[in-house]
Chains A and B, each alone.
Chain A
Amino acid sequence: MFRKFIARLRAASHRGDGRESAPVLLPFLIISVGLAVLAWRSYQLSLRMERGANTLAVQYAGYAAEITARRVDTAIRAELFRAAEDWQQTERRSPAPTFEALQQWINSNEWIVSVIYVPDADPINSIYVSEITSKKEDGAGQTLTREFYTSSGTVRYTYDPARLLVRVRSTVNQQPLVRSDAPDMIPFQQRADVTLVRNAPAGRSFVGRGFAFASPLSAPMNNYSIRAIVRTSYVGSGWENQRVISIWLSVLAFIFTAGGALLATRGLRKERETMRLRGALIANVSHELRTPLAMIRLGAETLKRGAKLKEKERQDIEEQILREVLHLSHLVENVLDVARIQHNAARAMAFTPVHPRELITMLISTYESWIRSKGFTVSTQIDDTIEAQYWDRESVSRALLNLIDNAIKYSADDKVIDVILRQDVEHVIVEVHDHGIGIAPNDLARIFDPYFRAQFSDTQTRRGAGLGLTLVQQIVAAHGGRVEVESELGKGSTFRLLFPRLKPEEAGAMSGLVHAPEAF
């Protein structure tokens, strides 16, 4: 199953050219989807864990508060009961309690503020004792009244609940629930901070990084509650939060994946381009090489065998061989130049001061006979004011020659080529204008690509490897300039080479050197 899938994937990636990137992107897509699923899952899990921990923390706080509150209630009841028992003991010892006895009782229970003892037998002889050390400063704490009956009378006393609670403080501070020592496994503090608070709203509430639960004490301590706070140890919303971390990690991984996919597509595209170029090279160059070679071989064989050839025929054959050899060497040079300039443009050039005017006139006079032989005429239009420029004489000549060659190759009946040399503020411009067949708009963008040849019905009759314009463009680019083309089908094309113009002072500085290189 899996192998089948892989095989299909591989087959798909080797299929046609345009849709190649889709199968290659498939693994990245799978990775991305996987990452997204993982991130979502992790987010969900951490969310659930947080929720669960919150619930546990709230419950924990609730239990702690409730248990402690009930314990405190019990302790308070026990204390009240103990005090009453204490007094009844005293009463049993001496049936008619005295002022001193009552005072001693109040002293032993420091939370009682004042007490009145009303004997049944003699209510008029009630005894009243107020606490010895009256604490005036905490008069804010209100007192509560309580009454109990003994066998011979009634004791009614007021007490300070705050002080009574101080007495049972140790109960509050006991940890109500059993603590387990699982370290860091549980994301909340397994310890409730239990405090005694006054006038707190009962129930649960959220405090910073944790939960509080207040449980009210029962009567007579109605105003007091036991408040337990359980703190959660995970972080609420900061970047340290697990789920935030997981999301960021996923985003990071996704970015990396996307980068990988981008690089892969680019590599693929480059490789496809290389493949295409290789195919074009083989198609064009092999054809271009084979034809002249076949011609040369044919001519050479004819010469060798044909002892009885006429002088005229022999001359024709020799000329043909020579022409083919020239063509061949031109082709090979083009290929080599393209390769050389492509690899290291600047080093392939030898920049020397050159007068453009001189260069063009020399070039045209050199090749005039060849141009004439094709039936063409060249008209030049030269701006005499142009200064010397730092050009590579050889390569610029080659570029112009290629353009003229193209103009000859792709011309119709109007066999005139215009070569114009002019300049503007920034550039020295060389224009080669023909009245040929022109270039289709679709092809305009691609004519400078290596091995590209416009499609004509008679492309095969016009020979060439598709390297001429590539070379022209590379040469001009190596000079820091650019090439512009204007063309209209059936009316001709204009190739405009724009070389950057030297500033006048620079040109002036080297004007003395212009002829020096030629002296060597």
Chain B
Amino acid sequence: MKFRLLSLLVAGLAAGVLLHAEEPKHCSASAKECDQQIRSMLTGRRYLGISVVDLKPGIVIKSVVPDSPAERANFKAGDRLIAVNGQKMTSSTVQDFKRVLSGARDVGTLWVIIQRRGAYQRIEVRLEPYTKAQIDKIIATHLAQSHTATASAGSGPGQ
């Protein structure tokens, strides 16, 4: 009796796991559609290429993306953002910074004052759009992540 209950429980768990596993992990849209969608979402979109961390108060650059406009403009990890486009950032949050950033995307140029090792430094940087190679890479990643799964899942029931 006890064993039976246990076995039922185990079976149920297994079934749940299986069902969960069977949940589709892929886009139902075709690869071409995904391709188009990603391109439309990224095209014309300029990026800077830094990740920041909120010190509360203050924002500090956590890392700089290699081969990005930020790296070329000589941003370094550990720089503290003092002002961006004339707006004080010493007591702002990451959200505020990003709002300013997205507001500057149309202009394309960012004037940033940073504090590096105690000294203020003024940096002017041009935001750049993604290159075709970068977009292609993002698409390739997406296709690898979901559409290869599509292929395996699609072939799964057939076998």
Interface residues of A (CB under 8 A from B): 99-100, 103, 114, 116, 118-134, 145, 147, 149, 151-154, 156, 158
Contacts and interface: CB of A to CB of B under 8 A. Distances in A.
Given A100-B25, A123-B134, A149-B98, A128 B51 contact: no
B44 to A, nearest CB: 12
Given A116-B42, A121-B62, A123-B134, A130 B27 contact: yes
A152 B28 CA distance: 28
Given A119-B51, A128-B38, A149-B98, A134 B29 contact: yes
A317 B127 CA distance: 159
A154 B99 CA distance: 11
Interface size bracket, B side: 35 or more
B145 A123 contact: no
A283 to B, nearest CB: 120
Nearest to A156: B41
Given A99-B146, A147-B102, A152-B51, A124 B28 contact: no
Interface stretch (B8-16, B82-90, B107-115, B136-144): B136-144
Given A99-B146, A114-B37, 4 more contacts: A123-B47, A124-B138, A125-B141, A132-B24
A120 B34 contact: no
B65 interface: yes
B37 A123 contact: no
A152 B138 CA distance: 18
11 contacts: A114-B37, A121-B62, A124-B138, A128-B142, A130-B146, A131-B28, A132-B24, A145-B41, A149-B99, A151-B53, A156-B41
B33 interface: yes
Contact of A120 (B29, B50, B134): B50
Contact of A130 (B25, B29, B63): B29
A158 B41 CA distance: 9
Nearest to A157: B41
A124 B134 contact: yes
B28 A149 contact: no
Contacts of B49: 123
Given A99-B145, A103-B25, A123-B134, A128 B34 contact: yes
A128 B143 CA distance: 9
Contacts of B26: 132
B60 interface: no
B81 interface: no
A97 to B, nearest CB: 12
Contacts of A103: 25
Contacts of B27: 129-132, 134
Contacts of B92: none
Interface string B30-56: 000110011001100001011111100
A123 B65 contact: yes
Contacts of B53: 151
